Structure 1
Amino acid sequence: MTSFTVRDSLRSAAEVAASAHRGESLAEAHLSGIDLSGVDLYRGNLRGANLSRANLEQTGLTNANLSGAKLLGSNLKGVDLRGANLAGADFTGANLEGAYLNRANICGANFSEANLSEAKLVAALYDDRTIWLEGFRYPTSGAVGPGAVLNGAYLNTANLRGANLRGIRLLGAYLSGADLTGADLTDASMSGANLQRAFLTGACLRNARLCNAELQLVDFRGADLTGADFSDVVSLAGADFTLAVGLDEATRAEILGRKPTEITTWNSYTRSNTKASLQENRPEE
């Protein structure tokens, strides 16, 4: 991909669009005040670009890279930022009315004094560094992060690797096939959730509540399960606990006491079963 610095060479929306369609990087571009309304910059690389006071109304930025970009005071009304990388971007004072940020990465982004009315944040990933507009009720906005309330949410196949999800509420949520490898789910409430085929490899589930959850074929390998509540789970068929730590003897015995057909169900991905994974390679505790 060609990379260059944009200062005076690109002065119109047409030139910017043409550069993006040629696959040229717009990283660190100086585009403050430019009018890009309605321009399609799908998957464009605008990492660290200065777009302060730019007009981006209805601009297509699906899957674009705007990490570290400056968008202070910009007009992003109705902008399509689905799946975009907005980590560390500065939206201070920006207008994001009706913007689509579904599944965008907003970790460390700054939304101080921004207009987020009617903005769509379903499955957008935030963390404890994200700065929100004062008074904005982000835990119930549909975004995913520490303290989020996502009871009954559909997060099937979501990529949440390494995410900070401490204290998240996922009661009855749908997480089948979700990738939660290395995620921090300390104190998470996931009672009644559907976690079939989810990846929780190396995740921290300390004091997590998994009562009545569906845990078929879940990959718990290497997870920290200290204090996790597995009471009355619907099924553990094919769940793999190889090298998982923190399971107390009572919980281990309860799992091994389930129906033989359940705890011997083969997991074709990890090439083990629940019974074998709990009896073999048992870690020292």
Structure 2
Amino acid sequence: MISKETYKTPQDVLAILKAGLALAQEDLYQFNLSGFDLSKAQLHRATLIRANLSQANLSEADLSQADLRGADLSQAILRNANLQAAYLYRADLSGADLRGANLTEIKLLGARYDSQTLFPEDFAYKSSGAIGPKANLNGAQLNTANLRHADLQGASLLGAYLGGADLTLVNLQGARLSQADLRKACLTGAYLRHARINGANLAGADLRAADMTGVEFEQLESIAGADFSHVQGLSDEMRSRLLSQPAQELDTPHALTRKTTRASLES
């Protein structure tokens, strides 16, 4: 195993990997290896926490049991890579190519993917705990999660816990959010067209400039302190139904904007 003193730059890392040598597990923390050719690299059990591997070529690399928490793997090439038992908690897999990769026992809880991410044909990524289009996240614990710009189109988030989550500009078109906890969630500019939020709790939620065209909602648990300022697509009938909520909820100010729910709906 090579000691940390042997290398200090990404170029040093590349030279060592190309030589087929092993690296000290802790020494790739936050390393910037974006765009590097790391094909067939030996990274078994390597620590790559928050490493930048965007657009890197990791085809046929051995990443088994590697710690890739928070790593940026956007647009990375991982074809035929060995990711057995790798830990990718909250990693970014947007646009990554994982075709042919070994994903046995991989841990993807909270990892992000999008419509451009390519998984092996037989891999059940929708129920893996990863966050992306059509994901099954029913009951998921996503309190305070940073989901800015996430693509959750058609996702199932029934009863999910999203309290305090940052959902700024998130795509939730057609998503199912019935009974979801969205208290104090930031949904500014969110795309909620035709989403279903029946029974959801929107207390203190920031929905400014969100697109709520065709949103389905019945018996919302609470909208106390929610800010609907400049919401798009809210029909007169929908607005009237929201204004029929209890006066105590409507007259509660949003913690940040200080505007009451009633004022945000009537402006």
Q: 2:194 aligns with which of 204, 207, 224?
A: 207
Q: 1:74 aligns with which of 49, 53, 61?
A: 61
Residues 35/232 of structure 1: CA separation in 2 closer, same or farther (3 Å cut): farther
Contact 1:209 1:229 in 2 (8 A): yes
In the TM superposition, residue 26 of structure 1 has moved relative to its aligned partner by: 5.0
Detail structure 1 runs of 4+ shifted over 6 Å in the superposition.
Answer: none
Q: Are residues 1:34 and 2:34 paired?
A: no
2:90 counterpart letter in structure 1: R
C-alpha offsets along residues 137-157 of structure 1, whole Å, 9 cap, x if unaligned? 110111100010110011111
Q: Are residues 1:152 and 2:131 paired?
A: no
The match for 2:165 is: 178
Q: Percent identity?
A: 45
Matches within 5 A, 1:15-94: 18-19=7-8, 24-26=9-11, 29=14, 31-32=17-18, 34-40=20-26, 41-94=28-81
Q: 2:116 aligns with which of 91, 114, 129?
A: 129
In the TM superposition, residue 29 of structure 1 has moved relative to its aligned partner by: 4.5
Ranges in structure 2 where 5+ consecutive residues have no aligned partner:
none
SS at match of 1:83: coil
TM-score, length of structure 2 as denominator length: 0.94
Residues 240/27 of structure 1: CA separation in 2 closer, same or farther (3 Å cut): farther
* In 1: Cα distance, 2:101 partner to 2:142 partner: 27
* In 1: Cα distance, 2:155 partner to 2:204 partner: 22
2:183 counterpart letter in structure 1: Q
* In 2: Cα distance, 1:193 partner to 1:77 partner: 35
SS at match of 1:139: helix
The match for 2:259 is: 272
In the TM superposition, residue 37 of structure 1 has moved relative to its aligned partner by: 5.0
- C-alpha RMSD over aligned residues: 1.8
The match for 2:103 is: 116
In the TM superposition, residue 15 of structure 1 has moved relative to its aligned partner by: 5.6
C-alpha offsets along residues 169-211 of structure 1, whole Å, 9 cap, x if unaligned? 0000011111111111100000011111111100110000000
The match for 2:203 is: 216
Q: 1:262 aligns with which of 249, 253, 262?
A: 249
SS at match of 1:261: helix
C-alpha offsets along residues 245-275 of structure 1, whole Å, 9 cap, x if unaligned? 1112222111111111111111121221210
The match for 1:3 is: none
In the TM superposition, residue 44 of structure 1 has moved relative to its aligned partner by: 1.1
* In 2: Cα distance, 1:154 partner to 1:229 partner: 23
Q: 2:3 aligns with which of 2, 8, 14?
A: 14
Residues 57/25 of structure 1: CA separation in 2 closer, same or farther (3 Å cut): closer
1:32 counterpart letter in structure 2: K
The match for 1:7 is: none
In the TM superposition, residue 45 of structure 1 has moved relative to its aligned partner by: 1.0
Ranges in structure 1 where 5+ consecutive residues have no aligned partner:
1-11, 281-285
1:244 counterpart letter in structure 2: V
* In 1: Cα distance, 2:12 partner to 2:252 partner: 50
* In 1: Cα distance, 2:13 partner to 2:64 partner: 23
SS at match of 1:262: helix
